[in-house]
Amino acid sequence: MTTGRRRPRSAPSVSQYDTLVTRLYEAATDAQLWPQALEAMVRFVGNSGVHLSLTDENTGLVRQDVNFGMPEKLMFDYDPRRVAAGPRVENALAHPEYRLLYDDQRIDENRIDHSEYYHWLQQTGDGIRYYLGAQLFPTAGRPSWISFPFRKSEGHARREHLERLKLFVPHLERALRVSRQLGTASLLSSALQHSIDREQTALVIVGESGRVLLASSAAEDLARSSQWIRLSNTGVHLANPNLDRQLQAALRDCRQLNEGSPAPAGEELEALAPDGSRFQLSIAPLMFQGRMFGIDRPAAMLTITRLPATVAAARERLRRLTAAELFLAQAIARGATVAGFARGRGTSMHTVRAQLKSIFQKTGTHRQAELVALVRDRVRPPEPESR
């Protein structure tokens, strides 16, 4: 899907950022709105085009893509296998610790000049030579990609472009997860209740007023059969006072989207039921134009997932780690080596090995293979990483 091309713009405003976040969450519920979301990204980043590619979790090949401002010839000749074999993807897969990517990160000009892939890119892409992008993890499988091209005359992406991308990548990733959970069904559709009832995960839509607008059958069954969560016209409430305060604060943050405040990227909480079961609660902001539920508009989606015993146990052990240790553990689980991680972070091998030894001691693991298994049991997508 290709739409028009825009000229680069000056530094974005707060209004443009709010518009971008609004477009992302609207597209999460209606796949036809992704071109508008991509146009808002281009306006915000300040280049001339963008390409979003969603990959197959097993093969890693692109299964769905949408773009704005990309050259028609390049999109017509676009070959996912050629792209997957190119140096950009090779660089990304070799350095999973990097979430944000740009060509001069690991690929020098000489290699670009002698690369068959870059020659094809410039010939079919109207002079496109450089890229700024990010690895996205809407699922626990292989990464998807968002790419912003720069022509040779424009030069490499600059730090301001990178900083702008960092601002909305968490929103983009969460929007893709919401889209997956809802099956890209539109909240404007009269079939919304049927759509969310098909989900085995418990889903709750909360309005601007804080009241529950819609709840899937799984969510209603959970509330009826347990004592730790309650759904009503007055809202969603948890029996644990501390968790309930955190939940209400997260929902208030989501409601501020419709009041013109800076947009939150969402929140995740973990609740312990009386029977010992653990549940993950994910709160994602939603924004829509118009009124669909009387005087109330959807403001947030709450997703409730029962954590398998292995996941709960793994999280308990990983809570003992510091933020730096957890980041290292996640990088190793995604395939990073100690040497590669040290180079990427600009630190010494000795420091990284000392951190790794501390991780082993705190988690009760003895080898990297055991640590990888533990982190993967935890089933939590990695946090964004920058330059």
pLDDT digits (tens, 9 = 90+) for 86-109: 777 777 777 777 778 777 666 778
pLDDT number for residue 40: 93
pLDDT number for residue 245: 92
Return the higher-pLDDT residue of 10 and 141.
Answer: 141
Given a cut of 60, is residue 294 above it in pLDDT?
Answer: no
pLDDT number for residue 381: 36
d(CA 241, CA 262) in angstroms, rounded, equals 27
Average of per-residue pLDDT across 149-160 = 84
Given a cut of 80, is residue 366 above it in pLDDT?
Answer: no
Given a cut of 50, is residue 382 above it in pLDDT?
Answer: no
Average of per-residue pLDDT across 362-369 = 80
Angstrom distances, CA of residue 22 to CA of 127, 249, 285, 374:
32, 20, 9, 36
pLDDT digits (tens, 9 = 90+) for 2-19: 444 444 445 667 788 888
Cα angle 371, 56, 60 (rounded to 5 degrees) comes to: 65
Range among 70-84, 92-106, 112-126, 301-315 rated most confident: 112-126
DSSP at 386: -
pLDDT number for residue 63: 63
pTM value?
0.46
Given a cut of 80, is residue 247 above it in pLDDT?
Answer: yes
d(CA 24, CA 348) in angstroms, rounded, equals 39
Structural domains in the chain plus CATH codes: 14-181 (3.30.450.40), 192-307 (3.30.450.20), 313-378 (1.10.10.10)
Given a cut of 70, is residue 131 above it in pLDDT?
Answer: yes
d(CA 286, CA 33) in angstroms, rounded, equals 14
d(CA 292, CA 153) in angstroms, rounded, equals 47
pLDDT-based confidence at 41, cuts 50/70/90? very high
pLDDT number for residue 27: 85
CB-neighbour burial class of residue 199 (10 A; exposed 0-12, middle 13-18, buried 19+)? middle
Given a cut of 70, is residue 59 above it in pLDDT?
Answer: no
Nearest partner of 217 among 203, 205, 231, 228, judged by Cα: 203
Average of per-residue pLDDT across 194-200 = 49
One-character DSSP codes across 130-196: EEEEEEE-SSSSS-EEEEEEEETTT-SPPHHHHHHHHHHHHHHHHHHHHHHHHTT--TTSTTHHHHH
Q: Please give the share of the chain, as a percent, with pLDDT higher than 70.
A: 73
d(CA 125, CA 73) in angstroms, rounded, equals 7
24 with 175: CB under 8 angstroms?
yes
